[in-house]
Amino acid sequence: MSEKLNILVVEDEPNLRDALCLAIECAGHRVMGAADGPQALRMIERNTGDHALNLVITDLRMQPMDGLTLLREIRSREAALPVLLMTAFGDVEKAVAAMRAGACDFLLKPFEPDVLLAHIDRYAAQVVTPADMVAEDARTRQVLGLVSRVAKSEATVLLTGESGTGKEVFARYIHQQSVRAGKPFVAINCAAIPDNLLEATLFGYEKGAFTGAATAQAGKFEQADGGTLLLDEISEMPLALQAKLLRVLQEREVERVGGKKPVPLDIRVLATSNRDMEAEARAGRFREDLYYRLNVFPIAIPSLRDRPGDIVPLARHFLAACAAAQGRVLKLGDSAAAILAGHDWPGNVRELENTMQRASILAAGERVEDEHIVLGGQRTPMRALGEAPPAPSAAAPQPAANDAPPNATPDAPLRVRSVRDMERDLILETLAAVGGSRKKAIEKLGISERTLRYKLARYKADGLLREG
């Protein structure tokens, strides 16, 4: 997105706070840092109107107020403000409790800057303007026309298309062009939240509803009251929960987990899926009655390869945004444009945006040429945020400052593999070892089919995986 966001980073470790703020600032956003929870709450109160925050990113383990307490305080004051948690591996249980308390997601330390920025793009309360909607291809113009017309109505919209095509961008555009534009836009990724958390996250819960429910918490439906709720990747919702969702959509009221009093709702519901929803309903993997309730106004978003007229204009759009964030002006060379136009973009618009971000970094001059275009999901090496530098080995002698290891290039960047990198490699290597059999991969990895499907969809969206 080209829009500048207002982001607050809450981290009590100064070096990591500075690194996070720098990464976010380099991406073109406005960022503030707070050393603890009380300071963060004061900053949230002060920043209103045009300076209102789009996202809070907070560490979980802090003093005198930990991230979970801060989250609850934010929820009581700014129910629609998204909060993203950062946590170490040993605090995963607390992170799960934070998801129950209304956190949009959590980042497991260490993580790389591009992972952080991807989460910001997904969860920040962004405004999508007509200038963001690049529609040079005839197919995209047709879709945008449908989107603009349905935005003025109250109809439930089901947006379908491959991962990375921009379904959520279109959903945000529908909200911004509707009469609800001044009210909350709340998005929840049904594939990213564990099954046992999804119900409480959607519907909220009362105090004592389950272990760890120390206070009552409004769910996403209540947070979106008066505005729009986006059910992202709705096809990944468990069947048992689909029946409860159907009742909420029919009755326009929600009952919290452990509660007895229905809460009336005034919301518009949008949903997305990267699957053929009609086929899912026929196969019994999705409730047919819920499908028809959601499919009031279906809109299919074409893949980027099916709207080739958008490729180069989108590339220029993303390049301009990346360059502006760096205080530069960059132009796209003809040779680079030809390479982009000839690529099939398995990761769709998301892959193209990542490609142009890398190109803007690699281009030292005023033009992006073919040598700056890196395709196939390769990334510029960088150290993970929140990861300590590797300790020198006691067994190996350390080179002098002016020595270089064999075959090294001057100023070659180093990158320590993050947990997410290792997880991705393990999943893809296991899948290759069993000849692509997802059933065998699930058995070897010890994960659910739903988790594997979600992980592979993410890798494909990032251009790291092609369907064969």
Domain boundary among the residues 313, 341, 372 is at 372
φ/ψ (deg, to 5) at 293: -70, -35
Question: Which tokens is 369 given?
Answer: 């040429």
Mean pLDDT of the chain: 83
State the pLDDT at residue 284: 95
> 274-331 pLDDT, tens per residue?
999 999 999 999 999 999 999 999 999 999 999 999 999 999 999 998 888 778 899 9
147 shares a domain with 290: yes
DSSP 405-455: -TTPPTT----PPPHHHHHHHHHHHHHHHTTT-HHHHHHHHT--HHHHHHH
Helical segments of 5-91, H only = 14-26, 37-46, 67-77
> 144-175 pLDDT, tens per residue?
999 999 999 999 999 999 999 999 999 999 99
State the pLDDT at residue 389: 45
Give the confidence band of 98 by pLDDT, cuts at 50, 70, 90: confident
Longest dimension (CA), the chain: 72
- Cis, peptide link before residue 184, omega less than 30° from 0: no
The answer to whether residue 80 scores a pLDDT higher than 80 is: no
Task: Between 158 and 72, name the one with better pLDDT.
Answer: 158
Domain span at 238: 130-302
Tell me the average pLDDT across 269-275.
Answer: 97
Establish if 74 belongs to a structural domain: yes
Cβ(271)–Cβ(156) under 8 Å? yes
User: Cβ neighbours of residue 30 under 8 Å, at least 6 residues apart?
Assistant: 4, 5, 6, 7
Establish if 405 belongs to a structural domain: no
DSSP tag of 35: S
Beta-ladder partners of 33: 9
The answer to whether residue 405 scores a pLDDT higher than 70 is: no
Nearest to 112 by CA among 321, 358, 317: 358
Establish if 383 belongs to a structural domain: no
Cβ(37)–Cβ(66) under 8 Å? yes
The winner for highest mean pLDDT among 125-139, 189-203, 271-285, 360-374 is 271-285
Question: Which tokens is 318 given?
Answer: 């993303």
Q: What is the crossing angle of helices 67-77 and 92-100, to 10°?
A: 10
In total, how many domains does the chain have? 4
Cβ(409)–Cβ(381) under 8 Å? no
* Cα 401–Cα 406–Cα 411 angle in degrees, nearest 5: 55
Establish if 121 belongs to a structural domain: no
d(CA 216, CA 205): 6
φ/ψ (deg, to 5) at 268: -110, 135
289 shares a domain with 173: yes
Q: What is the crossing angle of helices 449-461 and 438-445, to 10°?
A: 110
- DSSP H or E run through 141: helix 138-151
Report the predicted TM-score, pTM, of the whole model to 2 decimal places.
0.65
Cβ(299)–Cβ(168) under 8 Å? no
Task: Between 443 and 143, name the one with better pLDDT.
Answer: 143
151 shares a domain with 104: no
63 shares a domain with 27: yes
Domain boundary among the residues 372, 401, 431 is at 372
The answer to whether residue 36 scores a pLDDT higher than 50 is: yes
Burial class (CB in 10 A: 0-12, 13-18, 19+), 204: buried
159 shares a domain with 102: no
141 shares a domain with 190: yes
Task: Between 284 and 90, name the one with better pLDDT.
Answer: 284
Q: For residues 245, 247, 252 and 258, what is the CA-based torsion angle, rounded to 10 degrees?
A: -80
284 shares a domain with 145: yes
* Cα 428–Cα 116–Cα 429 angle in degrees, nearest 5: 5
Give the confidence band of 465 by pLDDT, cuts at 50, 70, 90: low
The percent helix, strand, coil of the chain (3-state, each to 5) is 45, 15, 40
> 411-448 pLDDT, tens per residue?
333 433 445 666 777 788 788 888 788 888 887 776 77
Q: How far is CA 242 from the centre of its chain?
A: 23
State the pLDDT at residue 10: 96
d(CA 453, CA 177): 33
